Chains A and B, each alone.
Chain A
Amino acid sequence: DAGVTQSPTHLIKTRGQQVTLRCSPKSGHDTVSWYQQALGQGPQFIFQYYEEEERQRGNFPDRFSGHQYPNYSSELNVNALLLGDSALYLCASSLPGGTGREKLFFGSGTQLSVL
């Protein structure tokens, strides 16, 4: 079992550009949540996807959007990048039947640097 896999591992972009981050959940998991972790801080919830729909969203602007595919994989898109978007972006998956908060499995994240 490969666990939660994220790609790419590192990414460098410039201000104003757009970025897409990808996540494959752990086998058997159907719920995917995305978190942003700034350097030296705890993860902050961005949004959660279940059955291909966003069902919960944190306090992030509309520049942050996502998608979930029928195979449960997910994408995080960020438009009009700002310097403050530089962070580790974490994907977490969880088992069916829950609300996406218990026994979360996190990927190793994508480190995004905005120059």
Chain B
Amino acid sequence: QQQVKQSPQSLIVQKGGISIINCAYENTAFDYFPWYQQFPGKGPALLIAIRPDVSEKKEGRFTISFNKSAKQFSLHIMDSQPGDSATYFCAASTEETSGSRLTFGEGTQLTVNP
């Protein structure tokens, strides 16, 4: 019940296109959903995060769409650029007073062709 399922495993998009990565979860206690971007040789970096009380959050070219009833959320990258080529991870977490952990998806390797 702690798993987060991510798809697709890999994604190729043309420059200027829209990249869409999807995640699904089972644990209804999850209340924090961040997306991380990871470049080779680097640690993950926080991109954007959402809580289940809103259905969408936008920051620049990055948008999270959240569907609480379907237990799904997705990352949309508008006007994708070659510099966006990286591995993207969705994650989820429950609020715990004794310290919280992130449960990550398996990752999506995004390639944006020039």
**A16-40 vs B, Cβ < 8 Å mask (1 yes, 0 no):** 0000000000000001010100001
User: Considering residues A33, A35, A104, which has the most beta carbons from chain B within 10 angstroms of its beta carbon?
Assistant: A104
A99 and B95 CA atoms in complex are apart in Å by 7
Among B95, B100, B101, B106, contact of A41 (Cβ-Cβ < 8 Å)? B106
Shortest CB–CB separation between residue B86 and chain A, in angstroms? 14
Among B45, B102, B106, contact of A101 (Cβ-Cβ < 8 Å)? B102
A-B contact count, CB below 8 Å? Answer: 68
Number of interface residues of A (CB under 8 A): 28
Assuming A106-B45, A107-B43, is B99 touching A42 (CB within 8 A)? no
Query: Can you list 8 pairs linking A and B with CB atoms under 8 Å apart?
Result: A50-B99, A99-B95, A99-B100, A103-B46, A104-B34, A104-B46, A106-B43, A108-B43
List chain B positions with a Cβ less than 8 A from chain A.
6, 32, 34, 36, 41-46, 49, 89, 91, 93, 95-107
